[in-house]
Amino acid sequence: MAAVSATLLASDLQVRQELRRLAPTILLRTILIVLLSEFAVMLILDWLALDWGVGTAILDAILLTLLMAGPLYLYVFRPTAHLAGEAAATPALCALRQSEQRYRTLAEAAQDAIFVVNREGVMQYVNSFAANQLGRRPEEVVGKRQEEIFPPDEARRHLEQMERIFTTGETIYEEAKLPIPGGELWISTRLVPLRDDSGEVQAVMGIAREITEQKRLEEELRQSTERFRQLLEDLPVATRVIQGNRVVYSNAADALLFGYDQPQEVIGTDAFAYIAETDVARLRAYAARRAAGEPAPARFEAQAKRRDGNVFPVEISVTRVSYGGEPATLAVLSDLSEHKRLLLYESLLPVCSVCGKVRDDTGTERGQGRWRSWQEYMLQRSTTSFTHGFCPECYREYRRQAGLPAEPPSRHK
C-alpha cells in the first residue's frame, strides 16, 4: 500500500505539472479559434447581405458552432484528454487508483489518525479522525506545512523525524505528550516511509493513536505498586513477593531473616532455594495448586534454610496478589525458633526429686506456682478418674510389714 500511494502521488504530480505548463497554450488556442471563427461568420453574413434579425442571429450561432467545433477538438480538447488519459487509462494505473480508493476508505473508517507528508513537510492527506484531533476539517489541513499546524517546537521535531526517514528510510515509533487546552494528550505514532518503484522515499505516512487512557492506567498501576512496595518495606516481619517461583520483591526483614545484607541479594533468586530439601516437594505442590486455582493451605509450617546452610523452622502465610500487573504470591514468614524453644520449656513439668510433688504454674508467673501432689495436680488438669490399689512389689512389702506371708495362701489345695 505504501508503494501504491507513492506511485500515485508521483503520477498525479506529473500530470498537474504538465497541465499547468500547457494551460497558457490551451487558453491562447481557444481565444484564437473563437476570434477567427467569429470573423469568418461575419464575412459570410456580409457576403449574403442578410438583414439582421432573429433568423440571422440563429444562423450566426449555427455557423460559429460549426466553424469552432473542429479546431477546438483538434487543438484544445484532444491534447487535454490525451494528457489525462496517459495518467488514468493504463490498466496498471487504474488498478492503482482502485487500490488507493480502498486505502482511503479504510483510512477514513479507522479510529486512528492517519496522514501523509511529502518531502517539503506539506500535508498531502489526513483522514477525518486526524483532522478532528486538530480541531479542523481535512480540507483545512491538506496543503499546509507542519509549521502552520503544530507549535514551533513540535513542528521542528516532526521535520527532524521526516528528514531522518528520508535519509535512512527507517520506520520510527515514538510516544509523545502533547499539551492541549485543559490537559494533555498522549499519542503513540508510527512513521513509515512511502517509496516509489525505484525504492526512493517520496513521502511519509504516519499512524497515530491516542493512548492517554492507557498512560493514565499505567501511572495508576505504577503508583499502586509503589505504595504496595512501601507498605511491605515498612513491615517488621519478613515479606516477599514470588512470581514464577522467583523472588521479585524482598523487604529488609526478609533479607535479614535469611542472612543477607540487602534485599537486592534475594531478588531474582529461586524461591525454593530457601526451603530445606525435606519440605521442597510439599511446598512446590502447594504452589502448583494455588496457581491452578485449586484449594491449597494458606498457612503452614516448614523448615527454611539460611544463607549459611543452617535450617530453622518458619511459619509461612501466603495469599494471591497482583504485582506489576501480573499474578503473584505474597508470602509472610515468621521464625519459629524462639517459639519452639519456649514451647519446649513450657512443656516441661517441674517435679521434686525428693518428695515427687509437682509445681503448678497455672495462673501465675512461671516459677512462682504452688507445689502440690501429683494426684492433686492431675485431678485438676486432667479428666481422668483415679482408683487406688497395690502394685505387686508394694503389696508384698505391705504384707511383710504387717507380719503376713509374702504371698497369700492359695485357695486351691
Q: What is the spatial distance between Cα 398 and Cα 306, in angstroms, rounded to a whole number?
A: 61
* pLDDT at position 88: 52
Torsion sign, CA atoms 136, 139, 142, 144 = negative
Q: Are strands 358-360 and 113-118 parallel, antiparallel or unpaired?
A: unpaired
Q: Find out whether 321 and 241 touch, Cβ atoms under 8 Å.
A: yes
Q: What is the spatial distance between Cα 213 and Cα 14, in angstroms, rounded to a whole number?
A: 44
Q: What is the pLDDT along the chain (413 residues), one digit of tens a residue?
A: 444 444 445 455 555 666 677 778 878 878 888 888 888 888 887 787 777 777 778 887 888 788 778 787 787 777 777 666 655 545 555 555 565 666 666 677 677 888 888 888 888 888 888 888 777 888 888 888 888 887 788 788 888 888 888 888 888 888 877 766 667 778 888 888 888 878 888 888 888 888 888 888 888 877 777 776 777 677 678 889 999 899 998 998 999 999 999 999 999 999 999 999 999 999 999 999 988 889 999 999 999 999 999 999 999 999 998 887 789 999 999 888 876 665 555 556 677 766 777 777 777 777 777 888 767 777 676 666 666 677 888 877 777 887 777 776 665 54
The residues spanned by each domain of the chain are 2-93, 110-210, 218-340, 356-413
Helices 91-109, 78-88: axis angle to 10 degrees equals 70
Q: What is the spatial distance between Cα 67 and Cα 89, in angstroms, rounded to a whole number?
A: 30
Q: What is the spatial distance between Cα 176 and Cα 263, in angstroms, rounded to a whole number?
A: 35
Inter-CA distances, 156 with 145, 151, 153, 163, 222, Å: 11, 9, 5, 11, 32
List 125's β-bridge partners, or say none: 116
Q: What is the spatial distance between Cα 103 and Cα 100, in angstroms, rounded to a whole number?
A: 5
Q: Are strands 113-118 and 201-210 parallel, antiparallel or unpaired?
A: antiparallel
Q: What is the spatial distance between Cα 44 and Cα 230, in angstroms, rounded to a whole number?
A: 105
* pLDDT at position 4: 45
Q: How many residues does the chain have?
A: 413
* pLDDT at position 220: 80
Q: Find out whether 173 and 190 touch, Cβ atoms under 8 Å.
A: yes
Count of CA atoms in the C-beta half-sphere (13 A) of 56: 12
Q: Which CATH class is domain 218-340?
A: alpha beta
* 110-210: CATH, from 3.30.360.10, 3.20.20.150, 3.30.450.20, 3.30.450.40: 3.30.450.20
Q: Find out whether 105 and 40 touch, Cβ atoms under 8 Å.
A: no
| Residue-by-residue DSSP string for 147-207 | GGTS-HHHHHHHHHHHHHHHHH---EEEEEEEEETTEEEEEEEEEEEEE-TTS-EEEEEEE
Alpha helices by DSSP H, listed for 239-364, are 252-257, 277-291, 337-347
Query: What are φ and ψ of residue 208, in 5° steps?
Result: -120, 135
- In whole angstroms, how large is the CA radius of gyration of the chain? 50
Check for a shared fold between 110-210 and 218-340.
yes
Percent pLDDT > 70 in the chain is: 78
* pLDDT at position 1: 43
Grid cell digits, residue 359: 509445681
Q: What is the spatial distance between Cα 62 and Cα 364, in angstroms, rounded to a whole number?
A: 135
Instruction: Name residue, grid cell 519478613.
Output: 238
Mean pLDDT of the chain: 78
Q: Is 391 helix (H, G, I), strand (E, B) or coil?
A: coil
